């Protein structure tokens, strides 16, 4: 059975790459991923949420960013299905000041939380994994809606599609040729970073992604492009 057909699409990839994950991210985005997460964390906190889920938290940077920026009490859960990612996240949070984060092992398609528990769900650079050619996409979106309170928000930082055709072509070339290759070379997992290049190039435009969110049950969506639209921050209200 291939990853895409399995009940845990991409799982093997995300248990293999964690040791190199942060470094490769910074190299591929020229360090901008840190700024983009910070911007997403600020967007999340602008809604003044108390209970926050950082879905697909990976090595924990987004959860730690939110905890560090919050100037009022928050409770943050970071969830991921890759134990190696969670181990790195836990070690980072232990050395930072942020004691109000609980990292949880779990599946985005079956979240271990009650209905309407969270004020905000943040997802940084994982919405593409949850939805792009993913047979479980509908289930993932339904789970996000289920655990959000009415009026709660989902904040997504993700790769996007530049609207300018020339910039878009350059971006696709960059993702496939540079990002895909350097990631594969540094991590030793060529398939994982070929997937990154291909999925980023084929991913939804801002209009398509906003439509997907509305179709899934969100009422209102907003989009803020980053770096000429190579990435973007979406917020959606339940």
Q: Which residues of this protein are in contact with ligand SAM, per CB under 6 A? A: 10, 14, 56-58, 61-62, 80-82, 85, 107-109, 124-126, 129-130
* Cα dihedral: 138, 140, 143, 149 (round 10): -100
* Encoded tokens for 32: 């901008």
The residue (of 1 and 166) whose beta carbon lies closer to ligand SAM is: 1
Find the shortest distance in angstroms from Cβ 93 to ligand SAM.
14
* Encoded tokens for 162: 């530049």
Give dist(CA 80, CA 104) in Å, integer: 7
The residue (of 110 and 220) whose beta carbon lies closer to ligand SAM is: 110
* Encoded tokens for 55: 């879905």
Give dist(CA 62, CA 55) in Å, integer: 10
* Cα dihedral: 7, 8, 12, 17 (round 10): 170
Listed as own residue / partner, the contacts of 218-223 with beta carbons closer than 8 Å and 24 or more positions apart are 218/145, 218/154
The residue (of 130 and 213) whose beta carbon lies closer to ligand SAM is: 130
CB-nearest residue to ligand SAM: 58
The residue (of 125 and 223) whose beta carbon lies closer to ligand SAM is: 125
CA-based max dimension of the chain: 47
Find the shortest distance in angstroms from Cβ 68 to ligand SAM.
15
Find the shortest distance in angstroms from Cβ 25 to ligand SAM.
6
Find the shortest distance in angstroms from Cβ 190 to ligand SAM.
16
The residue (of 123 and 151) whose beta carbon lies closer to ligand SAM is: 123
- Other C-beta atoms within 10 Å of 148: how many? 26
Find the shortest distance in angstroms from Cβ 158 to ligand SAM.
10
């Amino acid at each position: 059975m291939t990853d895409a057909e399995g009940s845990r699409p991409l799982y093997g990839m995300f248990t293999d790459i964690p040791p190199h994950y942060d470094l490769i991210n910074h190299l591929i985005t020229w360090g901008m991923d840190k700024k983009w997460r910070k911007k997403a964390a600020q967007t999340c906190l602008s809604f003044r949420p108390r209970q926050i889920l950082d879905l697909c938290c990976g090595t924990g940077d987004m959860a730690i960013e939110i905890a560090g920026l919050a100037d009022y009490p928050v409770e943050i859960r970071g969830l991921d299905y890759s134990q190696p990612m969670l181990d790195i996240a836990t070690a980072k949070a232990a050395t930072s000041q942020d004691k109000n984060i609980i990292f949880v092992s779990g599946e985005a398609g079956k979240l271990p939380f009650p209905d309407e528990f969270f004020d905000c769900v943040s997802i940084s650079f994982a919405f593409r994994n949850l939805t792009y050619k993913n047979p479980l996409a509908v289930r993932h979106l339904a789970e996000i809606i289920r655990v959000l309170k009415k009026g709660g928000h989902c904040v997504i930082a993700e790769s996007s599609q530049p609207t300018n055709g020339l910039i878009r072509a350059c971006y696709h070339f960059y993702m496939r040729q540079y990002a895909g290759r350097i990631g594969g070379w540094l991590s030793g997992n060529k398939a994982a970073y070929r997937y990154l290049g291909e999925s980023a190039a084929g991913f939804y435009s801002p209009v398509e992604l906003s439509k997907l969110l509305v179709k899934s049950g969100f009422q209102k969506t907003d989009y803020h492009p980053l770096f000429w639209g190579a990435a973007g921050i979406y917020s959606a209200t339940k």
